[in-house]
Copies of this chain bind each other. A is one copy, B any other.
Amino acid sequence: MTELPTITAFSWVPDFAKGQVRDIIARWAFAELGLDYRTELLNAASARGEEYVEWHPFDQVPAYRDEEVEMFESGAILIHLGERHGHILPQEPPARAKVLSWTAAILNTVEPALRPVSLLPLFHGGKPWTEEAVAALRPLAEQRLKRVSAALGENDWIAGDFSIADILLVFVLRSFGGDMIAAHPNLVNYMERAMARPAFEEALAKHLADFTTEPA
């Protein structure tokens, strides 16, 4: 009997973060691939200690382990699962290059522009990040969304067939897009199309079902 791959997730987070923690990215990939996995649950209200930091140097979730490798960071776990199990990361070079391009762009160009617009008011509302300071970040976030919308056009998915790039992009749009998405009907439809996939529904349900404890 082989051991199931393991990811870490949280057993408790504040309500606003439920549905938004990055273990959902790995869960979605597992569900698309029809793979079983187990979760090792941590409590977001307490630091995880040195042993966990050996596994995940930034003390976040998800970390990942299978019979062969240990790793961390949801973007990397997606690439690993795609390399190992197929279709969410194509083998054929032009299609693969396109998926890798979008994967890196979402991690490094799209999310970093959107995230502060959505998170800074949440964590430090008013002072020192005034409405004016946060508003000054919106033009870049809106420009990036406009470029994503233009690249998507009338296609179903961002980089050819459904891929790891869509898993990441939908995560970013759901978690950090806020009211900026509404300006782009094709992105609204894209999110609906993605979230209607049985694999997304399964991942979200399992993600929510693991919130089983109170703050540590």
Contacts and interface: CB of A to CB of B under 8 A. Distances in A.
Given A58-B144, A97-B69, A103 B76 contact: yes
For chain A, the bracket of interface size reads 35 or more
Interface in A82-105: 93-94, 96-98, 100-105
Interface in A26-63: 53, 57-60
Could you tell me the dominant secondary structure of chain A's interface residues?
Answer: helix
B76 A97 contact: yes
Contacts of A75: 104, 107-108
A74 B107 CA distance: 12
Given A73-B108, A104-B75, A128 B128 contact: no
A60 B109 CA distance: 10
Interface stretch (A110-118, A180-188, A195-203, A208-216): A110-118
